[in-house]
Structure 1
Amino acid sequence: MDQLEQTVDLVHDVVGQELLGTYLHGSAVLGGLAPASDLDVLAVTRRSLDERKRRALVEGLLEISGLTPTVRPVELTVVVQSEVRPWRFPPIGDFLYGEWLRDEFQTGEPPRPGPMPDLALVLTVVLAGDHPLAGPPPAELLDPVPHADLVRASVEGIPELLADLDDDTRNVLLTLARVWTTLATGEIRTKDAAADWAMAHLPPEHRPVLEHARNLYLTCHYQDEVWSEGLKAQVRPHVDDVLTRIDHLRQQA
């Protein structure tokens, strides 16, 4: 049984009759998984998870998910249908598991409900991908997200993203390229496709670092990536240029 099947079975077994549908999203439906891509899954439920179910999901995902050449990271998002339909911003997420939170989950409490602006992007990709793993087509459970809220969701996470620039350079650069692309085109693309679009619109001096981030994304796992000192020196000027372009588009939206 592969990781996706394990994840779907875990959600079904833990959530039970409260589960309305489970959907694939992210890179898998936007154009294909890169070596380090997450397996992104959304579950829609009738009501909020209780404590037992939260802990059971975390325990199961700690076993299924990983960051090795043979085990992909799994990102599971759970939403209560009534919190996102009818749509409003910011949406409330009921549960979020991702590998970047592993240490926290191993030593602390399971994830709780709270505002989750990124759900605007997740639901848009779920609806566009239309890939049920269990349940009806997503359009039967979810409302479309207005473009203005896609813009808001895209830019609200930038400060937190920039805090990780030194430790997670590849992902930050690619995510900023995706934010820029989404604001400019109204489309949510894979990280490599967003980087392709961004490089075509950048001046030559700001392309090399994004090209390197894109190549790392397509060819290697996080633990194998290497950044030269010359490229590191170009990261901040590149980021400043992209942020200026994002801010310009945000003000026009």
Structure 2
Amino acid sequence: MTLSIPPSIQCQTEAACRLITRVTGDTLRAIHLYGSAVAGGLKPNSDIDLLVTICQPLTEAQRATLMQELLALSSPPGASAEKRALEVTVVLYSQLVPWCFPPSREMQFGEWLREDICQGIYEPAQQDWDMVLLITQILETSIPLKGETRGTAVHASPCGAVAEGLALSPRPLAIHGRCAGR
């Protein structure tokens, strides 16, 4: 089955990819669309989930530029008929291959961070148990928007890591994977 970007988010997704490509430059390895946009259908308040894989850590200037400029491309859920909320997670390729547990994310943008971002407060790179679940989702159902396909840009997380990530994740997440043991 060939997956395609829902037409209702095509322009916003392309704008986010252009921004990410411009800011990350040669360090960009891949951008993947995942989540409800490809797995189960967009609901009125669904966000657009993007995983960005890079080869080098972000500089503080890159982090600030991404965070500030993503604000203009994103909108709080239900606040705009033209724009959806964006959730952009940036990870270093070296966190994925070879698999590191617990994985770290380089950056995360989401509407829940809007107030901090507006004040110039950006989370640093940090360990994130949710990355295990996110990677599982990417491998199950995602669309490569830029760069490598999911099989080459992202390798499978060990089944034990998925179970541990589920147990340690601060927010519940329904996944459809073989490793969840459910």
The 8 Å contact of residues 41 and 76 in structure 1, kept in 2 or not, is answered as yes
- 1:30 is matched with 39
* Structure 1 unpaired stretches of 5+: 162-174, 189-248
Determine the structure 2 residue equivalent to 1:143: 155
CA offsets 1:193-235 (integer angstroms, 9 cap, x no match): xxxxxxxxxxxxxxxxxxxxxxxxxxxxxxxxxxxxxxxxxxx
Alignment of 1:154-165 (within 5 A): 154-158=166-170, 161=171
Between Structure 1 and Structure 2, the one with more strand by share is 2
User: Paired residues, what number?
Assistant: 170
| CA–CA separation in structure 1 for the residues paired with 2:135 and 2:116 | 26
Structure 1 segments, 4+ long, off by >4 Å, are: none
SS at match of 1:131: strand
Which residue in 1 is equivalent to 2:67? Answer: 58
Name 2:25's counterpart in structure 1. 16
Which of the pair has more CA radius of gyration? 1
Q: Give, in whole Å, the separation in 2 of the partners of 1:118 and 1:42.
A: 12
CA distance in 2, matches of 1:69, 1:57: 21
- The one-letter code of the counterpart of 1:82 is S
TM-score (norm: length of structure 2) = 0.85
Counterpart for residue 15 of structure 2: 6
State the 1:147 CA deviation: 2.1
The equivalent of 1:93 in structure 2 is: 105
**What runs of 5+ residues in structure 2 fail to find an aligned partner?**
1-9
Kindly indicate whether the alpha-carbon contact (under 8 Å) linking 1:87 and 1:145 is maintained by their aligned counterparts in 2: yes
Structure 2: which amino acid aligns with 1:138? R
| Percent of aligned pairs with the same amino acid | 31
**In 2, Cα distance between the equivalents of 1:61 and 1:104?**
13
The AA in structure 2 aligned to 1:127 is L
Report the RMSD for the aligned CA atoms in angstroms: 2.1
Number of the residue aligned with 2:84:
72
- Is the aligned partner of 1:123 residue 2:132? no
Instruction: Note if contact 2:64-2:120 (Cα within 8 Å) is conserved in structure 1.
Output: no
Report the alpha carbon displacement of residue 187 of structure 1 after superposing the two structures with TM. 7.2
Conserved 8 A contact 2:139-2:151: yes
| 3-state SS, counterpart of residue 134 of structure 2 | helix
Q: Which has the higher helix share?
A: 1
Q: Are the aligned partners of 1:97 and 1:111 in contact in 2 as well (CA < 8 Å)?
A: no
